């Protein structure tokens, strides 16, 4: 895959440059903001219907597999949490897109979302079939962008060097692993799976401009001024 060099923010227009350097992240967030506005303005019975129709729960996956996988990534359950998602997008998704480019970023996010959804819902199906979970679990609400974010969190570890990488890894493993170990839900399992997808995406970090072969990160001898080519 041919990659363009990372786009550094223009000093005079840092916000505009940041948005333009990570278009996929900000287009995705814009769509989520619009769907959140729809949920916020819709009558209570209609917003419930919209969220469930766009869910990637077991029922929707069996009826409309592709549609549910795609649409579930563009809705969140609570519109009031939109500011939190904006922070997560800017802290994790945007830096990954600026670093790897939009195409590789998209591959990681899609793989994390799809893999985590399918595996976690497969386990829901097995739990229902073996009577370890009620049949109503097939209709549980399963929407949101958290699996994609978890994938970005995982691959971002390769952007860090030295002890910072290990500190980051310990932190994110604790954040995602503790809820799962403490009687976690299928969503907690999905987060860990998505994180794993990001951590196994090391090959997609290779071949970037200014990178030392085999280093998994930028070549600091070629970055020029202090702070250049960093997130």
* Confidence label for 8 from pLDDT (cuts 50, 70 and 90): low
Percent of the chain with pLDDT over 90: 68
Average pLDDT of the residues in 30-47 = 91
* Predicted confidence (pLDDT) per residue in 75-129, tens digit: 999 999 999 999 999 999 999 999 999 999 999 999 999 999 999 999 999 999 9
Q: What is the pLDDT averaged over residues 128-134?
A: 91
Scanning the structure block, which residue is given the tokens 């290779």? 206
Q: What Cα–Cα distance (Å) separates residue 159 from each residue in 116, 186, 229? A: 23, 29, 11
Q: With bands split at pLDDT 50, 70 and 90, how would you rate the model's confidence at 26?
A: very high
**pLDDT given for residue 222 in this prediction:** 35
Quick one: pLDDT at residue 6? 55
Averaged pLDDT of the chain: 85
Q: Is 204 exposed, middle or buried (0-12, 13-18, 19+ CB in 10 A)?
A: buried
CA distance 183 to 13: 47
Residue 203, Cβ density class (10 Å: 0-12 exposed, 13-18 middle, ≥19 buried)? exposed
Q: What are phi and psi of 134, to 5 degrees?
A: -70, 155
Average pLDDT over residues 152-165: 94
Query: What is the C-alpha to C-alpha distance for residues 145 and 29, in angstroms, rounded to an integer?
Result: 10
Buried b (16+ CB within 10 A) or exposed e, 141-158: bbbbbbbbbbbbbbbbbb
Q: How far is CA 193 from CA 63, 158, 186, 190, in A?
A: 24, 18, 10, 5
Residue 39: closest CA among 80, 79, 68: 79
Higher-confidence position of 228 and 74: 74
pLDDT band at 208 (very low <50, low <70, confident <90, very high): confident
């Amino acid at each position: 895959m041919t990659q363009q060099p990372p786009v550094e923010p223009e000093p005079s227009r840092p916000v505009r440059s940041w948005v333009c350097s990570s278009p996929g992240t900000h287009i995705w967030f814009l769509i989520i903001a619009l769907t959140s506005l729809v949920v916020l303005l819709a009558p209570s019975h209609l917003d419930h219907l919209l969220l469930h129709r766009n869910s990637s729960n077991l029922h929707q996956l069996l009826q409309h597999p592709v549609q549910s996988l795609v649409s579930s990534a563009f809705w969140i359950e609570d519109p009031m949490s939109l500011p939190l998602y904006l922070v997560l997008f800017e802290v994790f998704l945007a830096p990954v897109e600026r670093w790897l480019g939009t195409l590789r970023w998209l591959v990681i996010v899609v793989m994390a979302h799809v893999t985590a959804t399918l595996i976690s819902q497969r386990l829901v199906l097995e739990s229902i079939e073996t009577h370890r979970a009620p049949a109503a679990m097939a209709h549980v609400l399963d929407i949101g962008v958290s699996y994609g974010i978890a994938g970005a969190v995982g691959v971002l570890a390769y952007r860090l060097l030295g002890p910072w990488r290990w500190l980051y890894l310990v932190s994110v493993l604790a954040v995602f692993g503790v809820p799962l170990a403490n009687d976690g839900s299928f969503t907690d399992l999905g987060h860990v799976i998505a994180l794993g997808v990001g951590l196994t995406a090391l090959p997609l970090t290779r071949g970037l401009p200014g990178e030392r072969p085999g280093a998994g990160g930028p070549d600091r001898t070629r970055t020029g001024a202090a702070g250049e080519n960093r997130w």
